[in-house]
Amino acid sequence: MTVSLTDARSTELYARALQRLPGGVNSPVRAMRSIGRDPVFVERGSGAELFDVDGNRYVDYVCSWGPLIHGHAHPEVVAAVIAAAEGGTSFGAPTPGEVELADEVARRMPSVEMVRMTSSGTEATMSALRLARAATGREKVLKFAGAYHGHVDGLLAQAGSGLATAAIPASPGVPAAATAATVIVPWNDHEAVVKATQEHELAAIIAEPFAANMGLVPPADGFLELLRERASATGALLVFDEVITGFRLAPGGAQELTGVLPDLTVMGKVIGGGLPAAAYGGPRELMERIAPAGDVYQAGTLSGNPLAVAAGLATLRMLDDNAYACLAGRTASLAAGLREAAADLPVQVVCATGLLTVFFSEEPVTDYAAAAACDLEAFGAWCRHLLARGVYAPPSQFEAWFPSLAHSPEHVERTVEAAAAAFREAL
């Protein structure tokens, strides 16, 4: 399928947006600059498809960057949000839904007994690290090169995601003191982890258990187990950033899939069902350090917002074993099709349940340095050709694709056909 790619309304809207929004967008990767074009302005979504303001239709693999595991405008999620809104959009007071969502999260996440809601993954990460520092009495945090944990000052050092896309090594406005307590090592580098934990007294080791902000780069054999061992041996807390992997890879996220349990877990995306919501959680003895139960302060006017809680509950309650089996099968089918479409081209297709990345690399990608060495120009051309054929892929080599339960075999077939033609034109 080839779309017309008329863009008169998108062009007009982008010109207006540039006058009112920095770069014309409210989050950098949306600008599509890394693939050499202007952004697509979306009018609506339905299931696995997006429709732009110019009437073009796309198979969508961004899916709001992960929250929409059931696709766009799922009837049960929409109904839950409408019902919640009819009762009021925000109260600044406890609601029954917050308790139900916390119960659902604790039932699914092996390491989580208590939960504190926030409105974004950045807030949740910042708060989890504050708690880790309070619990250990230490300041330093170990993170991995290319990992993105939100725009927290101290973690905007060798970050992935949009920072990698825009080739920004850090951000102006971040004080040197904010990153002085951040220790950075390469992902999947066993020796570097051991050395860093020997040389630094760490409050926390923070990691995406399946790195997904340098593209999808799974952990090497034994790597997560090493993080757990080194954290326990040195008195640091292991913090898993499951904003992407939580409730996507498995009912209990990557920690259920791998059996490696962190001390604290950061959650987002799927937990809000497409509305702004995130959380952090862990064992009772740690979480009861948070005010008002304890002395570690964190607050938020819209934390536990009733609309977001309703969307999250509706989303999670539909994610049963059959749903995960379907998502795993659909992701594997898409990956196999893309590998076949690439044939003998220098391309690596990496996948896990509900996640996928096409790396333009001759060699397997195991860390951020390898991801950064990919042929970004060819990737950008490929993405442009995909858009021209009605496939909306993440416009960045450093972002994962998000297959959803709404993607049908027909969507996969259309995608693979478009990808094959796009490979021929891009390489």
d(CA 3, CA 64): 21
For residue 33, give the H/E element and its range: none
In the set 54, 60, 241, 375, the catalytic residue is 241
Instruction: Write down the H helix ranges in 87-189.
Output: 96-108, 121-136, 161-165, 176-179
d(CA 137, CA 273): 35
Q: Give me the half-sphere count of Cα atoms (radius 13 Å) on the Cβ side of residue 362.
A: 0
User: How large is the greatest C-alpha to C-alpha distance in the chain, in angstroms?
Assistant: 60
In the set 148, 280, 324, 392, the catalytic residue is 148
* Tokens encoding 95: 């609601």
Active site residue 195: no
User: Which residues are within 8 A (CB) of 253 and not within 5 positions of it... i.e. 6 or more apart?
Assistant: 108, 109, 209, 240, 242, 245, 246, 247, 265, 267
Reference 305, options 114, 149, 123; nearest CA is 123
d(CA 425, CA 402): 24
**In the chain, count of helices (H) and strands (E)?**
15, 13
Active site residue 241: yes
With tokens 């080791």, the residue in question is 205
Q: Where are the beta strands (DSSP E) in 324-414?
A: 348-352, 355-359, 391-392
| Residue 19: Cβ within 10 Å count | 7
Active site residue 392: no
In the set 14, 143, 269, 280, the catalytic residue is 269
The set of catalytic residues is 148, 241, 269
